[in-house]
Amino acid sequence: MDAPTTTSSDDGTSGGGGGWFTPRRPPKRPEDGHPQQPGADAHQAPEGRRPASIRPLGRPEGPVPAAEPVAEPGERPSDEAVNQAVNEAAADSADGSADGSAGSSAEERILAAASVGPSPAVQPQPTPPPATQSAPPPVLKDSVAQASVAKDSVAKPSRPASPDAALVQRTMAEIGPVADQVTSYFYALLFTRHPDLRPMFPAAMDTQRDRLLKALLTAAEHIDHTDVLVSYLKNLGRGHRKYGTRPEHYPAVGECLIGSLSRYASAIWDEETGAAWVRTYTTISQVMIDAAAEDELRAPAWWFAEVVSHDLRTPDIAVVTVRPDQPYPFLAGQYTSLETPWWPRIWRHYSFASAPRSDGLLSFHVKAVPAGWVSNALVHHARPGDVLRLGPPGGSMTVDHTTDSGLLCLGGGTGIAPIKALVEDVAEHGRRRPMEVFYGARTDHDLYDIDTMLRLQQSHPWLSVRPVVDQRAHLPDAVREYGPWNEYDAYLSGPPGMIRSGVDALRDVGIPEARIRHDSVEELVVAGD
């Protein structure tokens, strides 16, 4: 893909972005007179504004339920201090003089609060780690991510890296030791140079601060993985519509990305590296822009959904059923992103707990985890009548109904939810395909949905359900005792550790990697926040 290059890669202060990362063509827009979809009002609002936060239907507006912030590593700068400085900086930038002096001082305040210190250009540079350990952990946003580049099962390209990919990977190795400082500086630039973008992010950046930057860096690092990267980026672009992201926002993000990288990789940064990053980011952003424009012609940016049932199965697990305000198309095994009225602009992913229903209702299994804002709100505060917001469906853990292969399913904890949906999907298609389900939990108490699964087993002779209770949660080890599985398609859903070990175990017992399906272990959260 043709992409513009740049002759300067400074700290992101070189003007308003003209010529940087410009989409090669305007995205197609609905024709005049096309019925406005719910969520389209966000596009009609002034730049940087978002719709008012939703509140529960039929219930008075009350205080936000108490929840502890998600814990961050001890060496991180104070998120409270950064949040305060960012908010003050955004206000100063909005009111600043034309010469940008207010923005400059605001940026200095954020950097001081974030304790990022002076430019690394005047500091000794640490020795870069090996390339295989260079990138920050890939925490992908919305991924939503049916072909996630974060999967452990994605193999590296056998051919040598392209010149741009080699320069990108070199940069990633350089910034690895100071990744947290890169993140702080990135948001300092973004919110001081473009304060109109601040309302698109949560008021508290504690849980959000890494996600956008790491999603971009992960995609850039895998720029040669075109087969999986394009699918991932299209899903990412569609998912970003719910935040109010527009094509004109991408240049701002790109400039701040380049500014942050050039500052903290100054020891290796040159014109060639800057040009490689511009081309890489332009490719990434164009795929996302095109996918969002295409999706806008056929689907809303989000759906409103009213809670119609709240079934507390255990003290910390609830089955939440909602009714969307309009038809919501999805496939069994997929997931969605969900926002509660108590924590605006904070989204979490949950799998659908059933195949599509004739009444249009959607169910989710939610476990309240320590310091989980969204999960605790859904388990302990949501009630019938409350209104949530849903993003678009995503995920590739779906059944191929063109084959008669058996299905081997591993579900750990609330990861049993999408497995149950797959069972219902196979049953509805009426084909007697052998289906083996291993339902794992640490204790009998955690097998909260075992009665439902056993009833399904009684109704369908082709289905076998095996509960596995193990304090060490070694569900994949139990699979080795049965089989053979070489003629089965495998599906995994549960905690990240279970998925990682499960993929290894399934490969060991002879299931080809191409027949092992799961979604991003970092992004798809079926066991809580």
**Domain end (from 296, 318, 347):** 296
Confidence of residue 161 (pLDDT cuts 50, 70, 90): confident
pLDDT of residue 231: 82
* Domain containing residue 441: 406-527
Q: Which of 507, 471, 470 is nearest to 492 (CA)?
A: 507
pLDDT of residue 47: 33
pLDDT of residue 527: 30
Higher per-residue pLDDT: 310 or 35: 310
In what helix (H) or strand (E) does residue 415 lie, and over which residues does it extend?
Answer: none
pLDDT tens digits for range 47-64: 333 333 223 333 334 444
pLDDT of residue 520: 59
pLDDT tens digits for range 356-382: 999 999 999 999 999 889 999 999 999
3-state secondary structure of 452: helix
One domain for residues 515 and 426: yes
One domain for residues 241 and 367: no
Q: Amino acid identity, residue 450?
A: I
In a domain, 38, yes or no: no
One domain for residues 180 and 245: yes
| Sign of the torsion angle spanned by Cα atoms 411, 413, 419, 420 | positive
In a domain, 275, yes or no: yes
In a domain, 398, yes or no: no
One domain for residues 386 and 240: no
Rounded to whole angstroms, the Cα distance separating 392 from 336 reads: 6
Indicate which CATH number applies to the domain containing 141: 1.10.490.10
Higher per-residue pLDDT: 336 or 42: 336
Contact partners, residue 415, CB within 8 Å, separation at least 6: 351, 492, 493, 494, 495, 498, 526, 527
One domain for residues 251 and 127: yes
Higher per-residue pLDDT: 520 or 177: 177
One domain for residues 273 and 188: yes
Least confident span in 155-159, 199-203, 287-291: 155-159
**Domain end (from 267, 296, 325):** 296
Confidence of residue 503 (pLDDT cuts 50, 70, 90): confident
In a domain, 495, yes or no: yes
One domain for residues 339 and 423: no
Least confident span in 60-64, 109-113, 229-233, 426-430: 60-64
In a domain, 173, yes or no: yes
Q: Give Cα 224 to chain centroid, integer Å.
A: 21
One domain for residues 251 and 146: yes
In a domain, 40, yes or no: no
In a domain, 424, yes or no: yes
Contact partners, residue 437, CB within 8 Å, separation at least 6: 409, 411, 419, 423, 453, 463, 464, 465, 466
One domain for residues 231 and 350: no
- Encoded tokens for 338: 């969900």
Q: Amino acid identity, residue 32?
A: D
At which residue do the structure tokens 């948001």 appear?
Answer: 187
One domain for residues 117 and 252: yes
**Domain end (from 296, 316, 338):** 296
In a domain, 500, yes or no: yes
- What's the total number of domains in the chain? 3
Q: Where are the alpha helices (DSSP H) in 145-270?
A: 163-175, 179-193, 211-221, 226-239, 249-264
Indicate which CATH number applies to the domain containing 373: 2.40.30.10
One domain for residues 206 and 249: yes
Contact predicate 397/493, CB 8 Å: yes
Contact predicate 355/293, CB 8 Å: no
Indicate which CATH number applies to the domain containing 460: 3.40.50.80
One domain for residues 460 and 369: no
Reduced 3-state DSSP string for 84-98: HHHHHHHHHHHHCCC
